[in-house]
Structure formats: C-alpha cells, structure tokens
Amino acid sequence: MISEITDEEIKADIMNRLLRKGCWGAKYLPLDSVVNWLAKKIKRNGKRVRKIIKELVNDGYLLLHKGGQTASLNPTMSREIIEYIERVIERH
C-alpha cells in the first residue's frame, strides 16, 4: 500500500529533481515534465503538484520562465533550498 506523501515531501522532491538537473536561474525545465514525474506517485492527477509549484513560486524558491511554462530554482535562495531538501529527506 502506498503511503500518502506530504506536501513538504513533494516540495523537497521537486526542488531536489531540479537541483540534480542543475536547473538554476536561466537553465529551466518544462513544468509538464516536473508534473509528469510526480503524477505517478501522487493522487489527483497533477493538480496538487501544480498547486505546490505555485506555492514554491510564491515563497521565492522557484522562478517561472516562458509565461509560466517552465521553472528553475532561485539562485539567490540556494542555501535555503539545499537546507530544506536535506531537512525533509533526512526526516523521511
């Protein structure tokens, strides 16, 4: 049985995937790719993932490009992003 994944774990997973791909600042990934990665693990067909991405943008962790179709990590928040990922993954 698949356990329910918390919003915090989803946020850390999104940022960790972008971090591993080196997506900082002007190097970005399509949001559809990010949503499709996680849609297999998470219920509600990506709506929840898109809501969480919007929260990350509002908190300043992610930057949107190309009219909101692509995203990258905010280089000015690099320390906070790495600490957040380590804290959530360590607890998991």
CA distance 86 to 64: 23
Residue 24 β-bridge partners: 73
**Domain coordinates in residue numbering, the chain:** 7-91
The per-residue b/e assignment along 16-37, b for 16 or more CB within 10 angstroms, e otherwise, is: bebbeeebbeeebbebeebbee
**pLDDT, tens digit (0-9, with 9 covering 90-100), for 26-42:** 999 999 988 888 877 77
pTM above 0.75, yes or no: yes
Predicted confidence at residue 79, as pLDDT, reads: 95
Own/partner long-range contacts of 20-24 (Cβ < 8 Å, ≥24 apart): 23/71, 23/72, 23/73, 24/72, 24/73, 24/75, 24/78
User: What CATH number has the domain spanning 7-91?
Assistant: 1.10.10
> How much of the chain exceeds pLDDT 70, in percent?
92
**pLDDT, tens digit (0-9, with 9 covering 90-100), for 2-28:** 457 888 998 999 999 999 999 999 999
Strands (E), the chain: 29-30, 62-65, 70-73
